[in-house]
Amino acid sequence: MSSVLDSIIEGVLEDLDKRRISDSQLQSQLADAKPLRGALDALTGVGTKVIAEVKRSSPSKGELSAIADPARLAAKYEEGGASIVSVLTEERRFKGSIKDFLAVRAEIKIPMLRKDFIVTEYQVKESRVLGADLLLLIVAGLTQSQFIDFHQMANELGMDVLVEVHNESELERAMDAAPKIIGVNSRNLKTLDVDPVAFRELLPLIPAGIIRVAESGISERSEVALVEEFGAHAILVGETLVKAGDPGEAISRLLGR
C-alpha cells in the first residue's frame, strides 16, 4: 500500500512538470541568483535557535491558518527572534507556493529554508534560484545516491542543507554525506503519527560538531527544554506559531524568555 510520503512525492512531481523550464533557462537564472544569507551561521552560537515556519496546512491536521499575508507573518517571526524562516512550497497537502517563498524573501533579512519534498536535481537548482539559504533533504524520500548527489549539489551552489531523519538507519545513511545540520522529525511521514521518543533516541546519537534540529510536535516550553536536554541546538516550529495571536510572544515562551 502506498504511504503518505509516496503520495506526496507523486503530486510534487506532477506539479513540477507544470512549471519546469528548460535547462538553459535554469542555468541562466542560476547565474543571476542573489547572494545567500548563511543559514549555518544563523544556527550557530549560544542559545536555542528557532526555525519559524509559514505553514497554512498539513496532511495530518488539515488547515492550520489562512495566512493571507505570509510576508507579514515572516516579518513578525524575524522581529520575535527567529533565526531562520521556513516557507512551505508544496502546493497540494501544505497549501504552500513558490509565490509565498518569494514574497517572504523580499520582506525579511534572515536566512530562509525552502520546505518541500526535493526529489530531483531540478528542484535543487530551482531552490538556489529562488534564494533558499537552507534546503531540506528528507532521507526517507530519496535513494542513497540521490541523497548524496543532491546534498553535494546544494553545497556546491552555496546552500546549506537540513538533512531530515526519522530513525537510526536513516541517521546512518545521513552520515554518508558528511552533513553539518541534521533534523530529527518526530512525525512518521508514512503514517503521520508523532512519537517524541525519536528525539530521545536520535538526538544524542548525532555526532558533536553537527547542528541538531528537533522537528514536529513542539508546542510547549517543557517540550523545548526536553529536546535541549537531548542535545538540540534548534527547533523547527510551524503549527504553534501560525496559530498564535502574537508569534513573537510565542517564540519567547518556547525559549523560556
User: Measured between alpha carbons, how far is 84 from 217 in angstroms, rounded to an integer?
Assistant: 18
User: In what helix (H) or strand (E) does residue 150 lie, and over which residues does it extend?
Assistant: helix 144-156
- Of the residues 57, 83, 127, 185, only one is catalytic, namely 185
Is residue 185 annotated as part of the catalytic site, yes or no?
yes
- Of the residues 126, 127, 216, 223, only one is catalytic, namely 216
- Of the residues 90, 126, 164, 239, only one is catalytic, namely 164
Q: Residue 128: which residues within 8 A CB-CB, separation 6 or more? A: 30, 33, 154, 157, 158, 159
- Of the residues 53, 78, 126, 170, only one is catalytic, namely 53
Q: What share of the chain is helix, strand, coil (3-state, %, to 5)?
A: 45, 20, 35
Instruction: Please say whether the beta carbons of 88 and 51 come within 8 A.
Output: no
Give the Cα-Cα-Cα angle 133, 149, 238 (nearest 5 degrees).
40
Instruction: Please say whether the beta carbons of 234 and 49 come within 8 A.
Output: yes
Is residue 164 annotated as part of the catalytic site, yes or no?
yes
- Look at the alpha carbons of 139, 145, 149, 152 in this order and tell me if their dihedral is positive or negative: positive
- Tell me the three cell numbers of residue 59: 496532511
- Of the residues 126, 170, 215, 239, only one is catalytic, namely 215
Is residue 115 annotated as part of the catalytic site, yes or no?
yes
- From residue 56, give the alpha-carbon distance in Å to each of 96, 140, 227, 238: 7, 23, 25, 9
Q: Residue 86: which residues within 8 A CB-CB, separation 6 or more? A: 51, 52, 53, 54, 55, 112, 113, 114, 115, 236, 238
- Tell me the three cell numbers of residue 75: 516579518
- Of the residues 49, 76, 115, 125, only one is catalytic, namely 115
The catalytic residue positions are 53, 55, 115, 164, 185, 215-216
